[in-house]
Structure formats: structure tokens, C-alpha cells
Amino acid sequence: MSKWMKLSGSTAICALMTGSAAFADVTAQDVWGDWKSYMQGFGYELIATEATSGGTLTVSDITMGMTLPEGAGAMKMTIGELSFTNNGDGTVTVTMPASQEMKINVAPADDLPADVTLDYTNDGFKMLVSGSVNDMTYSYSAASIGVNLKEVVVEGTAVPIGAAQVAVRDINGRSTVKTGNLREIMQSMKAGAITYNIDFANPENAGEFAKVNGTLGLLSFDGTVNMPLGEFDAANMGEMLNAGFAVDGTYGYTGGNMNFHFADDGETVQGSSSSESGSFSVGMSRDMLKYIVGAKGQKVNFMGSEVPFPIDFSFGEVLFKMVMPVSKTDEAQDFALGITLGDFVTSDMIWGMIDPAGQLPRDPATVAFDLSGKVKLAFDMMDPEQMAAVESGQMGMPGEVESLALNNLEVTAAGASLTGKGGFDLDFPTVMMSQGQEGIDGALDLRLSGANGLMGKLVEMGLLPQEQVMSAQMMMGMFAVPAGEDVYTSKIEMKADGQVLANGQRLK
């Protein structure tokens, strides 16, 4: 994580080009000076040539270099030119050439050095900075922005690995910066579409390659960043979080498609995927780490040398959600974990391999759960020393779970469905001392439908022995009560004194 934070600073120049950076004052020199201070605060050594003509400050041959943390090596990035123009009305215009090179040099401590050259292009890029020193607004737009891989050189030798291009169209955005105890950045951006193309090949073996191309439509981004002022150690994420660093952002798109073709050691796979919409959210602060990614209307089809027939499937919804605390506190903090694989459908050809007679219902299948609760951490997750102590077992119990809620459970397939929800409070010291026998108080409600019908069909198909069905039906009789035709419900309760009840009947 700390490496990511250090390296993320190197993208600030790219962010400035797309308008997502928001570090400027009301004069050209102050815009550039504040940007330099920001990058140097991340530990970068910045070198550039500055020239002023009239009201325009032109900065060229911009080089940012740094030593990577934990002895990982060094890197630097060079771009050609940026211009900052005083407009005479308290605003500043930021411009750049329509085309210029970006060079990245990476010298890992345990690998070969590499130089990457990118062609950066823009059509109609405009950026206007307005406001005051402590409350600035960036408004920007461009007909298109593109990045093209031009050259890769490893240990002084050019490597013809292939091509890579990314292009974004119809960009419009706005960023505001308020500076007080923190630098508070609020960003909003929309774009027409992103197109990408990757075509890599092993220069020593033409039979090994990777080809990926596709589009994402109507891209959007909304987010905030709080950045500590002054000098700070970006290698220590715990220190940054305690100083007030926080980020929260969401990317979204409507409509996407991708084609892919891979080959390696004589094996190939080729196919495509598409989705109606999708989103990606990430957040981090002193209190929590958040990661949510999802898509709707997801379709995938592929075939390969190991699977010489088409594989087709789709999901109505795919979702992964994780929210967790990262810092030690005296009070319990929220956590959440959820996965949804909703409305899964596959082709009749695949169904035919499993159920050639068509005995099983082929309705969409769903597997989903949503958990949340309260947990108290006994360490700072972003502190390298404390994390090492946890991993080595020197710290003991890293935290205590105080409550756990199952907000939703669904497993639906082939005409059967299991749903449920519930919650439990935990007296964690008692739970640990009793090895889980006491200290848990709560209930879980479950509903099962279509199970007997599904098991009967599986027996007819020869996929399930009759004796296993009888065992399953005995278990349902012990833990569930009938609630209709082929429908069962169950309420499982756990008491703090160790009692376990099923539908009011004590099991323990």
C-alpha cells in the first residue's frame, strides 16, 4: 500500500493533463510553484527548465525522480512541456502541445532496468483555473485525449513487444481545491467513451501473444481527496492517515465491450464480453478502507484449445463489496463484505451436457450474501511494524468482533432456493475462552423451497443416491418446519449461555 501511495504521486502530471489535479494559484508562477511543492512533498526530486515571456510561463524538460521505498529501486518520469498563462483577470490558463512524449524509466533493485516511451496527444484541451489562493476551481474540456505506447527498451535494447493505445473522447470536468488545515479536492468528470487496444507478442516466440481491445461508454467520475499539507512520509501510510489523508471516488460507465485472444505454449483462448453498465468505488481514510466493484448485464463467451466448443454465460448482476477498518480505536467500527452473482444463465448446449433430457428447470441462478458488523482492531493495519507483528503472531489476537449481521443470503438454482437473514452479538472474550460454546446471542431465519423436487430429479438423473436424499430429508425434519408445498422454514437461535434452539426446540 505504501508503495502505491509513493508511486501514485507520479501520476499527478497525468492528472493535471486531464484536469483531475487541482493545485494552482491565481498567477502562472504560483500555479507551477504550488505544483512543485506538492510533488516534492511526496519525495520527488523535480527538475525543469522555466522560461517567462509576457504573461506566459513555459515549463519544459520536466523530470520527476524518486527512490522507491523498501530498497525497491528507483524511477523517474519526463514530459516535454506545460504552459501557464496569466489571463489578466485573476485566472490562469494551462495548456500543452497537441502531441508530446512522456518517458518513464524504472530501475528495479532486483530486475532489469526498463525505459518506456509514450506518445501523449490531445485535441482541443482547455483548462481554466479561477478563484482565490485558498479556494480554486479548475474547469477543463477536450475533444479527445490519447496515450500510445511508442517504445520499450530493456537494458539498452529495444523490445518489439507490440502496441497499446488508450483514447478518451468528449471530456468535461470540474475540480475545486480548498486549502486550510488540509488540501481538500473535489472532482467531477464525464467523458463520452474510452477505447483501448493492446496487442502484445513475445519477440522470441510469435506463438505467444495477448490481444485485447474494447470500449467503455459514457464514463463518469466523482470523488474527493484530503491531502495533508507540508512534508510527510508517504512510505508510512499510517502516518499519512493520521495526518488526515483520505480518498473516496466512484467511476461509472454505461455500456462496455471487450474482445480478447491469448496464446501461450500452444494453448489458446479467444472470446468477448460485454456489460450494460458498471461502477468501481474505492475509499480510504483513517477510519476505513472501501472497495466496491460491480456490473450489470454482463455477458461472456469464449472457446479455446482446451475447450473446443463455445462457452456462453451471462449475469444480470455481479458485485463485490468490502468495507473494513484500518486503524486501532477504543470503539468498534463498521465492516461489510458482500458478493452477488445474480441471474446466471448459460447456453442450452452447456445445459445439455449436464441435463440432456431437460429435466431440470433452467431458470436464472443466483448466489449472493451480504454481511456487516462491528469489529474492534487492536493494531494499525497501515503501520508496517504492527502489520509484521500480526503476521508473525507476536501481537496475539488482532481484533474483536462485536456483532455480525447476515443482511441477505440467497442461493437459487434449478428450481430450488435458499434465503436467509439474521444477526448475532458477540462477547468476544467469552467466545474465545469457551471456544465458541458461549457468548453468542442472536438468531438466523432461513427459508428453503423446491429442495425435494430438485433432489427427486437428481435421483432420476442418477446424479444423487437415494440414501443421501433420505439423510437430507431427515436433517430438514430436525431443523426446519413445513411452510407450504415443498417449502420449509427454520429459525436457529443462539443464547449467550450456550443454548442452541431450532424453531423453539432446544438442541443444546
Output 429 or 337, whichever has higher pLDDT: 337
One domain for residues 353 and 293 = yes
For residue 194, being part of any structural domain is answered with yes
One domain for residues 358 and 438 = no
Residue 150 gets the label, from left (phi > 0), alpha (psi -120 to 50) or beta, of: alpha
Number of domains in the chain: 3
- 15-19, 138-142, 256-260, 364-368: least confident range: 15-19
Burial (CB count within 10 angstroms: exposed 0-12, middle 13-18, buried 19+), residue 36: middle
One domain for residues 204 and 303 = no
Closest to 117 (Cα-Cα) out of 138, 147, 95, 97: 147
CA atoms within 13 A on the CB side of 39: 26
Residue 452 has a pLDDT of 95
Which percentage of the chain shows pLDDT scores above 90? 65
Residue 451 has a pLDDT of 96
Residue 234 has a pLDDT of 64
The arithmetic mean of pLDDT across residues 305-312, rounded, is 88
For residue 261, being part of any structural domain is answered with no
CA atoms within 13 A on the CB side of 121: 14
Domain-terminating residue out of 209, 242, 275: 242
Indicate the length of the chain as a whole number.
Answer: 508
Residues 6+ apart with CB under 8 A from 80: 60, 61, 62, 97, 100, 101, 102
Residue pair 252/219 in contact (Cβ under 8 Å)? The answer is: yes
Nearest 10 degrees: Cα torsion 206, 210, 214, 220: -140
Can you read off the three cell numbers belonging to residue 152? 520499450
Res. 14: pLDDT tops 60: no
CA distance 229 to 29: 20
To which H or E segment does residue 491 belong? strand 487-494
For residue 343, being part of any structural domain is answered with yes
Residue pair 118/101 in contact (Cβ under 8 Å)? The answer is: yes
One domain for residues 101 and 215 = yes
Residue 425 has a pLDDT of 96
Output 395 or 11, whichever has higher pLDDT: 395
Domain that holds residue 194: 1-242
One domain for residues 448 and 333 = no
The amino acid at residue 467 is E
Residue pair 469/421 in contact (Cβ under 8 Å)? The answer is: no
CA distance 440 to 428: 8
Residues 6+ apart with CB under 8 A from 410: 366, 367, 368, 369, 417, 418, 419
Residue pair 168/191 in contact (Cβ under 8 Å)? The answer is: yes
Residue 2 has a pLDDT of 43
One domain for residues 89 and 226 = yes
pLDDT level of residue 24 (50, 70, 90 thresholds): very low
Residue pair 170/124 in contact (Cβ under 8 Å)? The answer is: no
For residue 355, being part of any structural domain is answered with yes
CA distance 143 to 375: 48
Residue 235, phi then psi, degrees to nearest 5:
-75, -15
pLDDT level of residue 274 (50, 70, 90 thresholds): very high
One domain for residues 52 and 176 = yes
One domain for residues 195 and 311 = no
pLDDT level of residue 295 (50, 70, 90 thresholds): very high
pLDDT tens digits, 460-498: 999 999 999 999 999 988 899 999 999 999 999 999 999
Residue with cell 490519447: 146
For residue 409, being part of any structural domain is answered with no
Residue 434 has a pLDDT of 87
CA distance 187 to 21: 9
For residue 169, being part of any structural domain is answered with yes
CA distance 211 to 260: 6
The three-class DSSP label of residue 65 is strand
Res. 343: pLDDT tops 50: yes
CA atoms within 13 A on the CB side of 290: 17
CA distance 94 to 78: 18
One domain for residues 281 and 358 = yes
Which percentage of the chain shows pLDDT scores above 70? 93
CA distance 345 to 364: 5
The arithmetic mean of pLDDT across residues 315-331, rounded, is 94
Cβ count near 396 (within 10 Å):
9
Domain-terminating residue out of 404, 434, 469: 404
Residue pair 230/244 in contact (Cβ under 8 Å)? The answer is: no
Can you read off the three cell numbers belonging to residue 427? 462477547
pLDDT tens digits, 146-191: 999 999 999 888 988 889 999 999 999 999 888 888 889 999 999 9
The arithmetic mean of pLDDT across residues 69-93, rounded, is 90
One domain for residues 466 and 446 = yes
Residues 6+ apart with CB under 8 A from 463: none
pLDDT level of residue 136 (50, 70, 90 thresholds): confident
CA distance 141 to 188: 12
Buried b (16+ CB within 10 A) or exposed e, 417-438: bbbbbbbbbbbbebbeeeeeeb
For residue 262, being part of any structural domain is answered with no
Residue 128 has a pLDDT of 92
User: Could you tell me the pTM of the whole model?
Assistant: 0.85
Which whole-number Å values give the CA distances from 225 to 35, 187, 249, 285, in the listed order? 16, 9, 8, 10
pLDDT level of residue 39 (50, 70, 90 thresholds): confident
Looking at every residue in the chain, the average pLDDT score rounds to 89
pLDDT level of residue 16 (50, 70, 90 thresholds): very low
Helix/strand/coil (H, E, C) string of 220-249?
Answer: EEEEEEEEECCCCCCCCHHHHHHCCCEEEE
Residue 133 has a pLDDT of 80
For residue 450, being part of any structural domain is answered with yes
Residue pair 237/2 in contact (Cβ under 8 Å)? The answer is: yes
One domain for residues 272 and 308 = yes
Residue 391 has a pLDDT of 86
One domain for residues 237 and 322 = no
